[in-house]
Structure 1
Amino acid sequence: MVSRAPIYLNHSAFDFSNTFSRKMATLSFFSALLLTVVVSVPINVSGSAYCGPVEATDKDLVQFPLNLEFLEAEFFLNSALGHGLDAIEPDFAAGGPPPVGAQKANLDPVTRKIIEEFGYQEVGHLRAIITAVGGIPRPLYDLSPEAFAQLFDKAVGYKLNPPFNPYSNTVNYLLASYTIPYVGLVGYVGTIPYLTTFSSRALVASLLGVESGQDAVIRTLLYEKANEKVMPYNITVAEFTNAISFLRNKLAMCGVRDEGLIVPLRLGAENRTESNILSADSNSLSYARTQPQILRIIYGTGSEYRPGGFLPRGGNGKIARSFLGKV
């Protein structure tokens, strides 16, 4: 069992323990450092801490992202339209259960239209993958306000009062959306080098392009409000994004591959900007994650072996199911 994992940021180690006693340190908007998130809500990390690739066929590697594509489709469609995949392409679910807790969000007209488009894009992604390599049963997803509230409590280090509700307003919804597409895009970046056929690489590269675009739109909309306080919390939009990114780094246990909207100058593009609308490394190349890292994040447990979070029963497909029952 792994209970502590040092995370390295430009060769400086930030030691995240299971229980943190300090709260986030906040600085001014233009000189803000990445927050050292101190989580007082316990996170039992029991993953393998293995950061390398898994051995799998192209079919299994391409099917694995369906766990995130289903999640995005259900979250975006239900939030924008009040109904999910079963009202549009029910066969894609392959008999898997509908999500629990998803709601229509209280969005401004422009954001609602963007999220509706994202939802339809995810339907297309599902079709492309299923057509190419076959589908998997849709896993059970928990998209309830309570599931998001638990995630945001872990990120900021204490129980928010009132509990965070992603569906209550546009800003909350964009922050909740910040937690999802980026995980998919770094997963696609991490998958492409291990695919063996041209058709698989072409498909995943095309999926990556749109997932990256979705993440960029969400981050840009949030950046416009970066210094605004999220009501009724005494936390800015940028501070929330930094907290979420730090939590994902902790859960994945494989270094810093995720950054919020505001970074110190030394981490900005070419060390010349504190804005961080696109999360990238020192050469402005996208970060990559492997399948175990993705599972540790979306389960919210820091373990590819222990389901939770958005996937209370775990993911589906050969890769995700191979970890279950091996604790």
Structure 2
Amino acid sequence: MIIDMPDTDTASVGRRLVAEREATGFSALGRVLTLVVITRPEDAEHAVETAAAASREHPMRVITVIIRPDEPVDRLDAQLRLGADDGASEVVVMAALGRVGGSIDTLVMGLLLPDVPVVLWFTGDLATSPESEALASLGSLGRIAARRVSDVTHAADPVAALRIAAERYQPGDADLAWSQISILRAQLAATLDQPPYLTVTAARMRGRVRSPEFRLLAAWLVLSLGVPVTLEAADSPISIAEVALTRADGDITLIGDPAAGVTRLRLPDLPEQHLPLTQRTAAECLSEELRRLDQDRVYGDVLRRGLPLLDGGPLRDADEDGRHV
């Protein structure tokens, strides 16, 4: 069911949600969180589809705010999407035209579900652009959110976006590029957790060196292993084409093979093994970030301590709250 509400306000949207629940039997009970999506018009439909897919694992209310500051009029247009077509969620799409988008917190506060966490998701470079209008308009919403998820993969300059994310990092921040490599990180960790327990003396990576997934994995390796990581550019359909860890008995190598849909694991003196290829959809990455609402300390350390090491920067210590001193 799709209900259009042009030229409206938050209170009217809230009343219409209540009226539709009473008329159709839809219930807000069982929702585990409220996901607030901040997006631009060109990314809006994909963001709604991604959130709806993630809601099949995490029943939630999705509030999508489309920022359109260049519109000549100041107006709020809304659309309600209810029913099975949007997964286990109820979706509110709000187009904030003109100056209306300058105060996102006032637009969505009245629509947040009570007694459940709030998660923010910024599509594109809205969280990592040098002068982000979205961050400036969050107000108190940014403080009450349990998690703030960005997506530097779609930034114009992902490397610069990662630097900005590191500068602005606060406990609770996350990024879909980090979720994209979580299976690969687990595969590497599991491989090293098998005998013989030899020390890794060097690491090498090959792939798209400016992709955020590539750089985050390299930063994780250099921070976790304390060894130099050689980065090699390759024309690859996937961000990380190969990872090699050097030990006294030889190299442990993971090679992505998109054509076969597998990752080839090669260990010294053992037959080649085939593992699932680690490419994931945006919905799968978002679902992973919604499974845990506490601080991701490893991501914070990699962002603030690991990335500078790739550029020869200093290694900084972190206190218990994830703040770096």
| TM-based fold match above 0.5 | no
Greater length-normalized contact order (CA 8 Å, ≥ 6 residues apart)? 1
Greater gyration radius: 2
The structure where strand makes up a greater share of residues is 2
Quick check: which one's helix share is greater?
A: 1
TM-score (norm 2): 0.25
Query: Normalised by the size of structure 1, how large is the TM-score?
Result: 0.25
